[in-house]
Amino acid sequence: MDHLDRGEELELEQIELELLLEGIHRRYGFDFRQYAPASLRRRVRRRMDGEQVETISALQNLLLRDPAVMERLLLDLSVNVTAMFRDPTFFLSFRTNVVPVLRTYPFARLWVAGCSTGEEVYSLAILLEEAGLSDRVRIYATDINEAVIERARLGVFPLDKMQEYTQNYIRAGGTRPFSEYYVARYDGAQFGRQLIDSVVFAQHNLVSDAMFNEFNVITCRNVMIYFAQPLQEHVHGLFYDSLAMFGVLALGQKETIRFSPYESCFDELDAEERLYKKVR
Amino acid sequence: MNYDVIAIGASWGGLEAVGTLLEGIPQQLDQAIVVAQHRTPESGRGVLASLLQRHIGRPVSEPGDKEPIEQGRVYVAPADYHLLVEDGHFAFSLDARVQFARPSIDVLFESVAAAYRDRAIGIVLTGANEDGAAGLAAIKRNGGVSIVQDPRTAARSEMPAAALAASPAAAVLPLDEIGPFLSGLCCP
């Protein structure tokens, strides 16, 4: 494409990207058209490298004909490289500010929206177990991608991460030996059956699926950073509708309820840790 | 030529280098300045921003998701996130580390190149890896300006040397000459 100057090439890439997303939507039903463009472009480019194609159009050609390519792109688009007890101070605050609220209910539901490979899910399951709430709080963990849900459901994480996770766990206020929660198997750490069984895993698409239950807590940390603003507003609406009155919404460290249309419906429970309470 | 964004990437030895560079930024330069500095994931929230604030009068902060990019401010990529720019605002990702780094300079610079094209300036400073080389080349390829700290004056020369190898036409300058050079570019 030597005859194209750089500006034209970028414009062409933009057209190709829009066509690709349109094609994915019509062929597979996944709607990425309102994803934030910068990361989306990087992730699509990574898939192009993986499939060894030079252009987005060539990727589209493969992808429309071969669902396996779509599955691989879906994986690129739904995996968050995160850690158990990421942001330990968030979990400290959760223990202090959310656990007492949960104690007041005979039964409560917590939704981890966009759970990816499950690091956050198991962190919360451990926290609730230590608070003595396992029997009274049911965790629902959802993701757009069946494959990552399957992985999350296994409850196996890389053994070489356990040192880091243990440190996070301690900083998050954990009081037991972290190694009590898993068994080392080959190079994997298998988390206990009891933790896994405390979670309902299900496929759910934040973009296109409706609310499916009423929740007392919704955590959606570092998921909406991949969405453009109109889609973020849509998802905030879904969360607002899905939260019980005085329910808690937890967002990622760089995210905020401020500037969303629902800002006035929430009080800050802990602004620094992005914990908000629905009050109207 | 008008520029909207000055992107700075630094690694080993970067805290001091970025501080010195910011001190040399002339008052009348009103471009938004965005800094990606490698550090450990545990590095405290806002700590780097407050350290850098000592070196420059204009406000230094860690931006939030989709926060508008404003002129005359300095923005610092938070620890353990990739920081990207889109048309007029910031975006974040938790994608895998690039060259062991998150924030990655390449990720930031490539997004700057795509969003700001010939209105972008990229600067690669001291470091002991090759992050930033591909990103700086992308800024150059899209019509922007590339600047590399003279490797001989850097605390660690590997990163600026790699950037220079990927962008041979980059301006090569010691830290104290980058400010005046920017001034010549932006306020002729």
Question: Distance between CA A186 and CA A156 in Å, rounded?
Answer: 11
Residue of A nearest to B102 (CA): A81
**Closest-CA residue in chain B for A8?**
B142
Q: Do A38 and B78 touch (CB under 8 A)?
A: no
Query: Quick one: which H or E segment has residue A228?
Result: none
Cis peptide before A100 (omega within 30 of 0): no
CA distances from B122 to A206, B34, B83, B133 (A): 36, 10, 15, 10
Distances (CA, A) of B149 to A11, A252, B83, B176: 32, 35, 22, 10
Give the Cα separation of A106 and B186 in Å (integer): 64
| Position A14, amino acid | Q
Q: Which of B4, B55, B131, B157 is catalytic?
A: B131
Amino acid at residue number B23: E
pLDDT of residue A1: 45
Residues of B with Cβ-Cβ distance to A158 under 8 angstroms? none
Catalytic entry in B11, B146, B157, B167: B11
Query: With bands split at pLDDT 50, 70 and 90, how would you rate the model's confidence at A2?
Result: low
- Mean pLDDT taken over chain A: 95
pLDDT of residue A173: 96
Inform me whether the pLDDT recorded for A3 exceeds 70: no
Helix (H) or strand (E) holding B122: strand B120-124
Are the C-beta atoms of A31 and A18 separated by less than 8 Å?
A: no
Instruction: Compute the distance between CA of residue A166 and CA of residue A179 in angstroms, rounded to an integer.
Output: 8
Q: Can you tell me the mean pLDDT for A184-204?
A: 95
The DSSP symbol for A161 reads G
pLDDT of residue B1: 64
pLDDT at A5: 77
The per-residue pLDDT for range A51-88, each reduced to its tens digit, is 999 999 999 999 999 999 999 999 999 888 999 999 99
What is chain A's Cα-based Rg?
Answer: 20
- Whether residues A39 and B65 touch (CB distance < 8 A) is answered with no
The one-character DSSP state at B98 is B
Query: Do the chains contact at A41 and B95, CB–CB below 8 Å?
Result: no
From B154's Cα to the closest Cα of chain A, the distance in A is: 30
How is residue B116 annotated by DSSP?
A: H
Q: Which residues of A touch B63 (CB under 8 A)?
A: 254
Contacts of A168 in chain B (CB under 8 A): none
The beta-carbon neighbor of B81 closest among A38, A226, A254 is A254
Span A120-153, pLDDT tens digits: 999 999 999 999 999 999 999 999 999 999 999 9
Per-residue model confidence (pLDDT) at position A174: 95
The angle subtended at Cα B117 by Cα B187 and Cα B154, nearest 5°, is 70
A to B CB pairs, distance under 8 Å: 69
Q: Within 13 A of B5's CA, how many CA atoms are on the CB side?
A: 31
| Rounded Cα distance, A251 and A277, in Å | 12
The CA distance from B50 to the nearest CA of chain A, in Å, is: 17
Q: Which residues of B touch A38 (CB under 8 A)?
A: 84-86, 91, 93, 111, 114-115
Q: What would the pLDDT profile of A236-247 be if each residue is shown by its tens digit?
A: 999 999 999 999
Q: CB distance from B134 to chain A under 8 Å?
A: no
Q: Which of A41, A35, A36, A120 is nearest to A82 (CA)?
A: A120
pLDDT band at A187 (very low <50, low <70, confident <90, very high): confident
Cβ-contact B63, B36 below 8 angstroms: no
Measure the CA–CA gap between B124 and B7, rounded to whole angstroms: 9
Question: Taking Cα atoms as reference points, which of B102, B113, B161 lies closest to residue B137?
Answer: B113
Which residues, including other chains, have CB under 8 Å from residue A196's CB and lie 6 or more apart? Answer: A153, A155
Query: Which residue in this structure is represented by tokens 């759970």?
Result: A115
Q: Residue A230 corresponds to which tokens in the numbers above?
A: 């109109």
Which of A36, A81, A254 faces B86 most closely, judged by CB atoms? Answer: A36
Element spanning A57, H or E? helix A56-65
* Interchain CB distance below 8 Å, B143 and A81: no
Q: Could you tell me the pLDDT band of residue A259, with boundaries at 50, 70 and 90? A: confident
Q: Does B107 touch chain A (CB under 8 A)?
A: yes
| List of chain B residues with pLDDT < 50 | none
Contacts of B60 (CB under 8 A, 6+ apart): B49, B50, B52, B53, B73, B74, B75, B76
Nearest Cα to Cα of residue A70 among A55, A84, A51: A51
- Out of A7-21, A32-46, B49-63, least confident range: A7-21
**Type of residue numbered B31:** Q
